[in-house]
């Protein structure tokens, strides 16, 4: 059963045997004639010169020859972006799909699903469908709206989770009294 997970990797490895080399990489490696051949096969003879010129321009200006340091990420103007990115990474680890994936087999066992493989299949399919939906929404709405919406959704789900925990323990009256005193005082 464990070997089923290797099937996609094997298919990719077999498919890569039929893939052509990247013309951009060939240009960067100095194999211009090979790059021209690949461009000619993929896009036609009319695109060869313009494509090779573009590849060489990008290769010269890719920034890899600049003397940069990792510590520059902590300096302005990059420090704010690095802080936001790092914070979002940490929040995702605590609140994202990872929590669902880590405990999915236990959760499904507690609700009566006997097959952990079936449960993992459903979790994987749901994750895949969510990724397709996110790809569509990123192109349509943009990353910022999607990120804000997903975090607002997570906050509302956490609130529902907390309320359900209070209901399960019979402590909902205490929650109602606290919320009334907060609103009145």
Per-residue pLDDT in tens (0 to 9) along the chain, 185 residues: 567 777 888 888 898 888 878 888 888 888 889 889 888 988 888 888 888 888 888 777 665 545 667 777 788 888 888 888 888 888 777 666 666 677 777 778 888 878 877 887 888 888 889 888 888 888 788 888 888 888 888 888 888 888 887 777 766 555 555 554 444 44
Residue 71 within any structural domain of the chain? no
pLDDT score, position 62 = 61
Q: Domain count for the chain, please give it.
A: 2
pLDDT score, position 181 = 45
Alpha helices in the chain (DSSP H): 7-16, 23-28, 32-43, 48-60, 78-95, 97-110, 116-141, 143-169, 172-184
Helix (H, G, I), strand (E, B) or coil at 157: helix
Nearest to 108 by CA among 100, 119, 118, 117: 119
Please check whether residues 109 and 167 belong to one and the same domain.
Answer: yes
**What phi and psi values does residue 25 have, to the nearest 5 degrees?**
-65, -40
Please check whether residues 90 and 166 belong to one and the same domain.
Answer: yes
Please check whether residues 22 and 106 belong to one and the same domain.
Answer: no
Residue 72 within any structural domain of the chain? no
Please check whether residues 83 and 158 belong to one and the same domain.
Answer: yes
Please check whether residues 146 and 178 belong to one and the same domain.
Answer: yes
Q: What is the largest CA-CA distance in the chain?
A: 78
* Segments forming the whole domain that contains residue 98: 77-184
Nearest to 151 by CA among 92, 84, 86, 98: 92
- Angle (CA) 38-43-48 rounded to 5° is 65
- Angle (CA) 27-30-34 rounded to 5° is 65
pLDDT score, position 67 = 61
Residue 141 within any structural domain of the chain? yes
Residues counted in the chain: 185
């Amino acid at each position: 059963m464990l070997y089923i997970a290797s099937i996609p990797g094997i298919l990719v490895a077999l498919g890569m045997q039929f893939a052509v080399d990247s013309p951009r990489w060939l240009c960067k490696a100095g194999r211009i004639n090979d790059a021209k051949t690949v461009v000619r096969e993929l896009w036609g003879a009319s695109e060869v010169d313009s494509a090779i010129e573009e590849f060489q321009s990008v290769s010269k200006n890719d920034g890899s020859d600049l003397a940069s340091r990792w510590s520059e990420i902590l300096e302005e103007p990059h420090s704010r972006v690095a802080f936001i990115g790092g914070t979002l990474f940490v929040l995702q680890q605590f609140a994202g799909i990872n929590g669902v994936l880590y405990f999915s087999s236990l959760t499904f066992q507690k609700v009566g699903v006997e097959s952990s493989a079936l449960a993992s299949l459903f979790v994987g399919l749901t994750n895949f469908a969510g990724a397709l939906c996110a790809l569509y929404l990123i192109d349509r709405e943009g990353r910022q709206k999607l990120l804000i919406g997903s975090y607002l959704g997570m906050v509302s789900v956490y609130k529902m989770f907390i309320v359900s925990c209070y209901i399960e323990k019979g402590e909902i009256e205490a929650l109602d009294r606290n919320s009334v005193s907060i609103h009145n005082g």
